Copies of this chain bind each other. A is one copy, B any other.
């Protein structure tokens, strides 16, 4: 397979992959493109490469910057802005985990805390079924939260070697 073909393949697959994880296709594609580019790219480069509009490109780059996955780069003597993606995939994964934890897991845990305090007789099977389910989710969720915190702080080498020992 030629490089150009392989790149296209990767970009489109990464885009499709993203849609299964609640990330829009274009955002995932821009990320993929920046991941495999040896040099920083401008908005125009990205528009042209992915054949998408200026507005779409701009909004999704901004969103990637919010997620901490892409950096704006000002080259001296150049008026245009350039963009690069973090290439160390372990850092990328940690960053995504960090953001999703903050945006989704933490609010969910707060909600579960409130729901667990529902009024009513705990011996009533309807109440019991509800509280048991909520408690179970909360317990696992809190564990996941702690585990992810540690993961976010970890080095890749540490992650791999430690998990290799345990998960065996």
Contacts and interface: CB of A to CB of B under 8 A. Distances in A.
Interface of A: 1-3, 6-7, 9-10, 13, 17, 19-22, 35-38, 87-90, 93, 100, 103-104, 108, 111, 114-115, 117-120, 125-130, 132-134, 136-137, 139-140, 143, 146-147, 150-151, 156, 160, 162-163, 165-168
B126 A147 contact: no
Contact of A1 (B118, B139, B143): B118
Tell me the dominant secondary structure on chain A's binding face.
helix
Given A3-B120, A10-B115, A10-B130, 7 more contacts: A1-B115, A2-B120, A3-B126, A36-B130, A88-B136, A143-B163, A150-B168
A151 B140 CA distance: 14
A142 B101 CA distance: 23
